[in-house]
């Protein structure tokens, strides 16, 4: 049975002192009475039944003034402590929760429907929190202690975890979890939630079919990986795709996919495999497309070279708050790679490699929008990267519920990838979509020939 995170963890009412005392006594007594070796041989369901029976008996023994429902909650918490992630389990099971952050043992926050909320659940103490943190790290062959206080890990469902332990974390261990959605998110699904329009979806479908290289840009928590997952579903299933990620979050449905994941150094500082190592190796694997989870360092130059040498339709994400900043970030990362290339050569590489930048943003009401779809058109005479907007979200205000509303405006210039669209027989449809939007926005008349 799935836990209800809102009812069990996020309510305003604190649990009664009687329940708190009973929970602690049941925990301490169980540790003294139960045979742990035998318990861990049971299946999770068998263990749950055994512990529920123990809690029911213990409640009668103590004549505890707690309800049957509260007894079940205590039993569930004990099971989660033994084989799960303690008070985090109900939050992990709630599919509407996207992020969980732990700030010491007594403060757990989670993001649901775009808003950050304080959970009622808490760890018993710092020792309990560290025990759960170490369990997460141990599952991926890592450790968390005073000598190794930083750890990146992944849960069995693919959710990404970062752990910071004392003495680095001054107020107790910190755990940050970016949950891995179990549902395949499509562009159509994002359009239904208002993140973009149906016309934008179709233009992106045409762009993918035409093999445009796409960079998804956005800030922290803006939905870059979600959008990259949705875009990757547009790739032709006949193509060979190689993915390179720090933590495997991409859920590609195509049959011909090779997934590569980086590896941090071991305790002795050896054995590290970087994203750059993966990208360089991917080029030797005869990929049709390369998909990089996030480009953030020296691998940038290898990605641009791959995009410039026939791997059309490759994709990646980048951390930038505006589409224009994405170009600056790419240029800076190439400079950091130590090749010492002149800026005009770097910009030429970017202009030749990147076709589209899709900017996603998390607005202050918690909603996520594709705020820009920018198309690279080439270099100016001064050597600057030139681009034009195919679409742009224009906010118009807030409604009575403080939700941001606005409109998606289409650009007025002919798409630069029109020539590629001709090759695939999609040019007329592309022009019809853009003209239709121009007419609706009053920028051209119905009988005018757009462009």
pLDDT digits (tens, 9 = 90+) for 417-448: 999 999 999 999 999 999 888 888 877 777 66
Query: Average pLDDT for residues 243-259, to the nearest whole number?
Result: 87
Q: At what angle do helices 198-209 and 427-440 cross, to 10 degrees?
A: 160
pLDDT above 70 for 387: yes
Domains by residue range for the chain, with CATH? 1-83 (no CATH), 89-182 (3.30.450.370), 187-440 (3.40.50.300)
Angle (nearest 5°) at CA 52 between 49 and 53? 85
Q: What is the model's pLDDT at position 436? A: 87
Q: How far apart are the first and last CA of the chain?
A: 58
Q: Quote the CA–CA distance of 358 and 322 in Å, as a whole number.
A: 10
State the Cα–Cα distance between residues 372 and 405, nearest whole angstrom: 16
Do residues 224 and 137 make contact, with C-beta atoms less than 8 angstroms apart? no
Range with the poorest average pLDDT among 200-214, 220-234, 365-379: 220-234
Sheet holding 115-118, edge to edge: 115-118, 108-112, 97-103, 174-178, 160-164, 150-154
Instruction: Tell the residue number behind the tokens 């003294």, with chain if given.
Output: 32
SS3 at position 97: strand
pLDDT band, residue 410 (cuts 50/70/90): very high
In the chain, % of residues over pLDDT 70 = 94
Per residue, what are the HEC states of 393-408? EEEEEECCCCCEEEEE
Q: Does 41 have pLDDT greater than 90?
A: no
Residue 158 φ/ψ region, left for φ over 0, alpha for ψ in the -120 to 50 degree band, beta for the rest: left
What span, in angstroms and rounded, lies between the C-alpha atoms of 192 and 424? Answer: 28
Say whether 151 sits in a helix, a strand or coil.
strand
Assess whether pLDDT exceeds 80 at residue 378: yes
Q: Which residue has the tokens 């918490």?
A: 77
Q: What is the average pLDDT score of the chain? A: 87
Q: Which among 6, 27, 129 has a CA at the least distance from the CA of 76?
A: 27
pLDDT band at 451 (very low <50, low <70, confident <90, very high): low
Q: Tell me the average pLDDT across 26-46.
A: 76
Give the integer Cα–Cα distance in Å for 74 and 430: 59
Q: Encode pLDDT of 272-318 as tens digits.
A: 899 999 999 998 999 999 999 999 888 999 899 889 887 889 999 99
Can you name the residues that pair with 290 across neighbouring β-strands?
A: 242
User: What are the counts of helices (DSSP H) followed by strands (DSSP E) for the chain?
Assistant: 16, 15
Give the integer Cα–Cα distance in Å for 115 and 223.
Answer: 14
Angle between helices 44-62 and 68-83 (to 10 degrees): 130
Task: State whether residue 444 is helix, strand or coil.
Answer: coil
pLDDT at 183: 75
Answer for the pair 136, 85: CB distance below 8 angstroms, yes or no: yes
Q: What is the mean pLDDT of residues 385-413?
A: 91
């Amino acid at each position: 049975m799935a836990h209800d995170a809102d009812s069990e963890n996020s309510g305003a009412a604190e649990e009664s002192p009687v329940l708190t005392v009973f929970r602690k006594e049941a925990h301490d007594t169980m540790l003294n009475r139960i045979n742990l070796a035998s318990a861990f041989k049971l299946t999770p369901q068998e263990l749950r039944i055994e512990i529920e029976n123990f809690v029911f008996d213990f409640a009668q023994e103590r004549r505890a003034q707690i309800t049957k429902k509260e007894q079940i909650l205590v039993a569930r918490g004990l099971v989660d402590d033994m084989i799960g992630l303690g008070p985090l389990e109900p939050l992990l099971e709630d599919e509407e929760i996207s992020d969980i952050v732990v700030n010491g043992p007594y403060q757990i926050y989670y993001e649901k429907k775009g808003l950050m909320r304080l959970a009622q659940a808490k760890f018993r103490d710092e020792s309990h929190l560290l025990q759960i943190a170490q369990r997460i790290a141990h599952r991926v062959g890592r450790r968390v202690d005073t000598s190794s206080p930083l750890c990146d890990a992944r849960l069995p469902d693919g959710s990404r975890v970062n752990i910071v332990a004392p003495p680095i974390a001054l107020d107790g261990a910190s755990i940050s979890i970016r949950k891995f959605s179990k549902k395949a998110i499509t562009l159509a699904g994002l359009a239904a939630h208002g993140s973009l329009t149906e016309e934008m979806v179709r233009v992106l479908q045409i762009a993918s079919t035409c093999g445009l290289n796409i960079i998804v840009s956005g800030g922290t928590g803006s939905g870059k990986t979600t959008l990259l997952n949705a875009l990757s579903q547009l790739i032709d299933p006949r193509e060979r795709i190689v993915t390179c990620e720090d933590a495997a979050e991409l859920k590609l449905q195509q049959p011909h996919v090779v997934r590569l994941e980086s590896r941090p150094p071991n305790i002795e500082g050896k054995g590290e495999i970087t994203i750059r190592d993966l990208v360089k190796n991917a080029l030797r694997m005869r990929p049709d497309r390369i998909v990089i989870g996030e480009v953030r360092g020296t691998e940038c130059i290898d990605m641009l070279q791959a995009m410039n040498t026939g791997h059309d339709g490759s994709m990646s994400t980048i951390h930038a708050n505006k589409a224009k900043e994405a170009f600056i970030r790419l240029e800076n990362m190439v400079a950091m790679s130590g090749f010492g290339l002149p800026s005009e050569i770097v910009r030429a590489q970017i202009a030749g490699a990147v076709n589209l930048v899709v900017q996603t943003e998390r607005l202050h009401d918690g909603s996520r929008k594709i705020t820009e779809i920018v198309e690279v058109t080439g270099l100016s005479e001064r050597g600057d990267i030139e681009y034009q907007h195919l679409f742009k979200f224009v906010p118009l205000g807030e409604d009575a519920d403080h939700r941001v509303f606005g409109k998606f405006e289409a650009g007025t210039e002919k798409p630069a990838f029109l020539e590629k669209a001709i090759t695939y027989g999609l040019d007329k449809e592309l022009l019809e979509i853009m003209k239709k939007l121009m007419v609706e926005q009053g920028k051209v008349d119905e009988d005018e020939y757009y462009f």
